[in-house]
Amino acid sequence: MDRLHALESALEKIVLDPKYHDILTLVKGIRNGMVYGAKVRFPHALVMIFLFRSGTFRQKTLAVLRATKQHARNLGFFALVYKAAMLLLRHTSPTGKERHYDSFLAGLLGGYIVFARDIHNPVSQQIVIYVFARVCLALAKLAVMPRKPVHHQGHGHYHAASGGLGLIPNEELRRAVVRNGWPAFAALSWAAVMYVFRWHPETVQSSLRSSMSYIYVQSDHWDSLRTLIWHNK
């Protein structure tokens, strides 16, 4: 028992040591991303799969668990890539401080690595499309807001109609757009949402802002081993 208390005390000192703070923000970022992804996806998948998908009880249960795991993994992995990139960019800055475009570049990298190449995964597609829609709403708000200085702040089935509009007559160019369209869309969507959240959080829809704050801002703060690993606060 004494050894357990001694180990806990030693870990507590490491957790609260400022020199380990940057690395531990990655740990808590992964933790918060996975917890939030599981909390959001599990009830949604449970209702949608059991109500609208055919199959046995076991098949449906496994489908719910797979979707939950994928969502949690995606958000946890993205948090790791994004926060690691932000740390790297800050430490390579000539001033040693965060630059205005760092969140865009980190979001671009995270969106490409985690979501852009996973084109056939419906969970990843839903996340990216959700993010894209929220970015559009935020940009619409920005378009009508007065200009002001930026202040640094802390941390079912349907039959598709045949044919298209034919806006790209060149077949080679059309194939290139089809091949690269999703990766670019996914990466840019995440780049945009991370930038807007970082510098204009008031324009982001409240539920998305709350979830992003939980994953990317609150993961920078803890006061014990318990609030680092087990509880958010």
Reply yes or no on whether the pLDDT at 40 is more than 70: yes
- Does the residue 28 lie in any domain? yes
Look up the pTM and report it.
Answer: 0.72
pLDDT of residue 159: 41
* Structural domain containing residue 218: 20-144+170-229
Helix and strand numbers (H, E) in the chain are 8, 0
* pLDDT > 60? residue 1: yes
**CB count in 10 Å sphere of residue 230:** 9
CA distance 173 to 119: 20
The confidence score (pLDDT) of residue 77 equals 96
The reply to whether 212 falls in a domain is: yes
Whether 102 is covered by a domain: the verdict is: yes
Structural domain contains residue 118: yes
Per-residue confidence (pLDDT) for residue 164, from 0 to 100: 52
Q: Decide if 220 is inside a domain.
A: yes
Say how many domains are in the chain. Answer: 1
Q: Answer yes or no: is 149 within a domain.
A: no
Is 13 contained in some domain? Answer: no
- The pLDDT tens digits of the residues spanning 128-153 come to 999 999 898 788 777 766 666 555 55
Residue 221 maps to a domain: yes
Can you tell me whether residue 153 is helix, strand or coil?
coil
Alpha-carbon distance 71 to 35, whole Å? 10
